[in-house]
Amino acid sequence: MGAGKRGLLTAAVTVVCAVTVLATPGMAFAAPSPTPTPSPSASATAVTNKDLEAVREQLDALYHDAAVATDQYNAAEEAADQQSAAIVALAKKIVKGQEKLAELKQRAGAAAAAQYRSGGLPDEAQLMLSDDPEDFLNGAGRVLQGQRATKGLLAEMTRTQQDLEQYAEDASSQWTKLEANRKAKAAAKKKVKKQIAAAEELESRLEKEEKERLARLEQQAAYKAQTAWLDSGILDEINGKASAQGKKAVEYATSQIGKPYEWGAEGPGSYDCSGLTSQAWASAGQPIPRTSQEQWKQLKKIDVKDMRPGDLIIYNSDASHVAMYLGDGAIVHAPRPGRTVTIAGAGSMPILAVVRPDA
């Protein structure tokens, strides 16, 4: 991490130590102030804190479902890209196989033409008609060579034809999978848009003052979770140092702070959560799976107490969110639609696992 970024993180951590908490994305590193209770003069139809809490929980559910659908979209897109590449590779093999088969057929035709020019008699018949011992022996050698060459040519033609049939079958299978993943991608895209639109429509019903109170409620929820995580004493056990690749990944991720979240995006102008982590590690020379679920499944699991900067923290029971650990109880992540890449508290969301790309 560069000196400027290290200074920024150190300053943030200093505040964290002072208040023992990191707030949610976009909020200051300080304990949230209590949400004010409506005054007696407030309208009878005013939205209560209980109402806003219900809205917050509903928004969390909508954005969570959008995150799950985004992972499904990313997985389908990645699979479709791989299948498209496989189809192209198989097509090239088919072209080469056809060229080889044509060459073999040409050689077989040349052999048949040579036999015709010799009077149509096979080499074996011509050999039997020879009276000269030396010619007989020379002819016998040619017959054996010819038989071997013919068998080899026919065997190679058969293998080439079988290869072509297998390539065609594989290409057909890949094409079927490609079409299935295109449909899965379209379905996931539709679901993502539906969930985000529902969340935005729900938020649009709130007045400015209600949105501000909702933001404070979100801050309080994250504060409570982060405080409980820190109160467990976990930071006393976490003291791992970043690897050389981990430092590069952290440097990349933190340099994206302020860029908007966009589902399905992997930079350079915007990111979703796994788009940020996968690109950060790709920049460090370590390719990792594209989605948070595959990062959880395929990368090595690490105990929380052993994690170090650059490790990835997988959140929620369905591995629907991922962030990069920075050290000192902080993460950098792309939170959700309407937010930007930001620093937050590592314990502000339910941790499922910690994984290490460069294990």
Residues taking part in catalysis: 273, 321, 333
- Six-digit token string for 48: 């209560």
For residue 263, give the nearest of 77, 67, 60 by alpha carbon: 67
What pairs with residue 312 in β-bridges? 324, 355
- How many helices and strands (H and E) does the chain possess? 8, 6
- Give the burial class of 78: count Cβ atoms within 10 A of its Cβ; 0-12 exposed, 13-18 middle, 19 or more buried: middle
Cα separation, 29 vs 308, whole angstroms: 22
Cα separation, 330 vs 346, whole angstroms: 5
C-alpha distances in Å from residue 56, one per residue of 204, 226, 323: 13, 18, 22
Question: Could you count the other beta carbons within 10 Å of the beta carbon of residue 123?
Answer: 17
Rg (CA), the chain: 33
For residue 343, give the nearest of 301, 309, 318, 316 by alpha carbon: 309
Question: Could you count the other beta carbons within 10 Å of the beta carbon of residue 235?
Answer: 18
Cα separation, 25 vs 295, whole angstroms: 22
Alpha helices in 232-317 (DSSP H): 244-255, 273-283, 292-298
The letter for the amino acid at 165 is E
